[in-house]
């Protein structure tokens, strides 16, 4: 993609992001906790990244407005319709993922101090 001008690259990235949102919308059965376990991000992360991108450009974007954009509806509505309570197995896998991240960070810090 290095051969593309900035405008074209931005358009392609935006189109890919919209496709990701559409894909997630088509697969509401994919739970945020599962995304966090497997990929270390979820729909809420995408919302936070949108808010951060707006702030970097001197724009204001409310987090709830960003979540509504990502979820395609108010988050509270999406949650009540599509997000069941996390299972004990999901919670255990999430905790293991978080512990793994802490361990990797500590290892990286130790390597940096050697």
In sequence order, which ranges of the chain are alpha helices (DSSP H)? 6-26, 32-39, 43-56, 63-71, 75-82, 88-113
pLDDT (tens, 9 = 90+) of the chain, 114 residues, equals 889 999 999 999 999 999 999 999 999 999 999 999 999 999 999 999 999 999 999 999 999 999 999 999 999 999 999 999 999 999 999 999 999 999 988 888 888 775
* CA gap 23, 46 in Å, rounded: 13
Closest CA to 82 of 39, 54, 42, 38: 42
Q: For the beta carbon of residue 43, count every other beta carbon within 10 angstroms.
A: 21
pLDDT value of residue 114 = 59
pLDDT value of residue 111 = 81
Q: What is the DSSP letter of 85?
A: P
């Amino acid at each position: 993609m290095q051969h593309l001008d900035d405008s074209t690259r931005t358009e392609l990235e935006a189109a890919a992001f919209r496709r990701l949102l559409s894909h997630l919308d088509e697969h509401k059965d994919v739970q945020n906790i599962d995304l966090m376990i497997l990929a270390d991000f979820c729909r809420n992360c995408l919302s936070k990244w949108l808010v951060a991108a707006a702030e970097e450009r001197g724009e204001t974007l409310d987090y709830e407005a960003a979540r509504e954009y990502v979820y395609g509806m108010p988050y509270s509505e999406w949650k009540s319709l599509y997000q069941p309570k996390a299972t004990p197995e999901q919670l255990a896998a999430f905790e293991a993922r978080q512990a793994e991240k802490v361990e990797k960070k500590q290892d990286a810090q130790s390597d940096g101090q050697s």
